[in-house]
Amino acid sequence: MSNHFTGLSLGPPLGDQRLDLCDLYAFQAPGDPTRTVLILNANPQADALHPDAVYRLGIDNDGDLLDDVAISFVFAPPVDGAQSYDVHVATGAEARSAEPVGTKVVAGARASFGPEPEIVSADGWTFSAGARSDAFFFDFDGIKNLFDIRGNRNFTAPRFGGEAPWTGIDSNAEANVFSMAVEAPTEALLGGGRELHVWGRCSVRRDGRLVHVDRAGHPSVSSFFNTDETKEEYNASEPVHDRERWTDLFVHLMGHTGGYTREEAVAAIEAEGLLPDVLTFDPTRPARYPNGRVFTDDVIDHRLQFLSKGDVPPPGLAPHQDTLEVFPYLGHPHPTSG
């Protein structure tokens, strides 16, 4: 649930798990610090992705919150349990198109649904797409104990204080996810800049046009900071408009969850870099959220400490132990009963 559901009342975007973005990661390649790894996960059922959707990694490298590099994954209709995909890489003004434009660097690659990943390399870039073990760890029953979601089913009515809510059970211990992994020379992404601002988007074609249905940036922001009334608009919006549109909503929530004054909330949002909702990564520093994100980051604890001003005891869960030191870094998928 970093973003494993768009909202409990809404469920996944348009009621379709294939359109549900889960987690976004950014870190240095373990074997080569001159390369950057970006991973966008979707579909917590880990089956084929939507053939009419565009799954996109947007990268701003000059600080204007407009994409300078866009990496778009497009999937063919699944056939007999198999699915192929193309990857387009666009740069400059072309990267700001919602369509999968630019250079087609991967054509007809095979997504992997078995234990071993399918890996494709092209011009110094490396790609993989398919079912992998989900690295995100969280205590979902503990989250439900902490927030009153019985009525409006939002994560905006906390019950901080009192007994610790945690069960000690990792709800994602045997979960899979559909992962899209990219490894590239860092300089190809930076384009002369100093840091990357990365976000994910899922758009689906309806009546001949692309409709933006989900987005991913900071972990657990869309789930925790929005209500059912705002989630659809939030997930369709773009980072360049985030501060003006969403600051007041975030400030209001933080007043309830942590007793923040407006001045305190605005300062905390700025210090965290929470708006715009993009994952910032300075590749000259070790990756650890909020500088990028790695698999061992306890992002639920981080977010709850932020919301509550440190008033929630840590969940106490350990990171998953099945991640890999080699591309595509997420572990082999767990066996499924279906």
Per-residue pLDDT at 163:
76
> pLDDT digit string (tens) for 216-246?
999 999 888 988 889 999 999 999 999 999 9
Count structural domains, the chain.
1
Q: Per residue in 262-278, pLDDT tens?
A: 999 999 999 999 999 99
- Looking at the domain assignment, is residue 324 inside a domain? no
Residue 56 structural domain:
13-308
How far, in Å, CA of 119 to CA of 114, rounded? Answer: 13
- Is residue 117 assigned to a domain? yes
Domain annotation covers residue 6: no
**Residue 4 belongs to a domain:** no
Task: Judge whether 240 lies within some domain.
Answer: yes
Distance between the two ends of the chain, CA-based, in angstroms? 23
Pairing of strands 279-281, 21-29: unpaired
- Distances, alpha carbon 10 to alpha carbons 148, 230, 246, in Å: 16, 11, 20
Instruction: List, in order, residues 6 or more apart from 256 with CB less than 8 Å away.
Output: 156, 157, 158
User: pTM to 2 decimals?
Assistant: 0.95
Partnered with residue 38 across adjacent β-strands are 26, 182
Residue 99: inside a domain: yes
Residue ranges for the chain with pLDDT beneath 50: 1-2, 5, 7-8, 149-152, 338
Residue 338 lies in a domain: no
Residue 328 lies in a domain: no
**For 186-271, where are the E strands, in sequence order?**
196-206, 209-216
The pLDDT value given to residue 159: 65
